[in-house]
Each structure stands twice: as C-alpha cells, then as structure tokens.
A = this chain, B = another copy of it.
Amino acid sequence: MSGMRGTLSRQGIVEAAMGLLDREGEAGFSMRKLARELGVDPMALYHRHASRRALMQEVMKALMLSCPLPDPSGDWRADVRGLCQGLRELAHRHPGSFRAYVVFEDWVPAEHLLHEELYATLLAAGFPARDAVRAVRLLLSYTESFAVDELTGWLEPLGPRELHALEASLAGGAFPAIAGLIETIASPDAEADFAFGLDVLLAGLGQVPRDAVPATGYQQPK
C-alpha cells in the first residue's frame, strides 16, 4: 500500500488504519498519522472516506467480517461458548481496533454475521424471542467486557508495584473484604476466569426463562 504510486485503494486505507489502530491504540491513531504512514497528504484520505468516523465504520466492518465463526456442533452450549471464544480471539488479534469497536457508538451491518449465529443457536435451542435477544446482549457484553479487560491488562497477575499500590489504597482497614481477597485479586487466570463467566451465564440462561410464558409455547432448553 505504502509504496503504490498514486493509488490509494479504499481497502488499502482501511487495512492500514486497522494496523495503526492495533499498534498504537485509539489515542495514538489520527488521520494525519495514517496519511504519513501511507506517504500521502492527509487530505488524500478524505477522497476515499468522508470522515474519520466513516473510516472507523469501515474498520469496524473489516473487523467484524474477520470474526471467527465456528461451525455449529449441535450442542447449543458448546456453540455459544465457541462463538464467544471466537469474539475473544478477535480481540486478541486486533486489540486496538477491538477496543475502538466496543467504545464506538455506531453499529455496523457486519455485526449481523456473529449475531445471526448466536440468535439461530438460541432459537434452535428453544429460547423464546425475547429471551434470545436478551441472552445475546448478555453474552456479547460479557465477552466484550472481558476481552477489553484482558487488553487493558486487568487479567494479568499484579506486579509488585501494582500490588503495593493496591495494598496502600487499603490502609486504614476500611475494606476488610477486599483486604482478605488481595491474593486472589492479584492472581487472576484469564482462561479459567473467562470459562467461569460463560458457565455462570449458561447455567443461568438454562434456569431463568422457565417462568416466561411466551405466545409460541416455550420449552425449557435442557
């Protein structure tokens, strides 16, 4: 892209933007920096994308189009787990873009690919419409929050400096519960913690809809 003479393809700009975002984070991203990397005048970008926001939408689209979507297995719980895990892997592959995606206030049709799989899985498992919509919101916001926490470093063991800062903030004894949990807080385990959350959600989803009586005749998924 960078060396191509006079040619700034729409897609080339989007890929470069995604790379810059992933390398430097949203705070480190700017249209001017992107243009510098591509070796063009900043305004050349505006010929292909009307604004920074429009370009961001294209980046989000590219991001969501590259979200892994494992094939259905027949077991809805396994499928839900796989789809959430795929989204989490996307976050690991594209940390800056993923973070920007989660914070971004617009939606983008490319999200439909993942949503469709989740909805289809839950509907096939017998969830009534309302519960399926709520469950998907729950699963996505869990996975997105968890992944963003990972990217921020909140699921890595605390270093001595961070541990000391935490201990210092507890001085005075006003927070006995936190103080008693300090070793646990200091030693998270991203894989096990993520699995725990999914298990809680799946267990809860298997229980709660029982009392909902939808028009369509709901069977509790087992």
Contacts and interface: CB of A to CB of B under 8 A. Distances in A.
Contacts of A141: 141-142, 145-146, 149
Consensus secondary structure, chain A interface = helix
Contacts of A144: 145
Interface in A159-174: 169-170, 174
A193 B134 contact: yes
Interface residues of A, number: 57
Contacts of A103: 103
Contacts of A208: 196, 199-200, 203
A177 B218 contact: no
Interface centre among A116, A123, A130, A134 (most CB of B within 10 A): A134
Contact of A178 (B116, B195, B218): B116
A36 to B, nearest CB: 24
Contacts of A135: 200
A66 interface: no
Interface string A21-39: 0000000000000000000
A7 interface: no
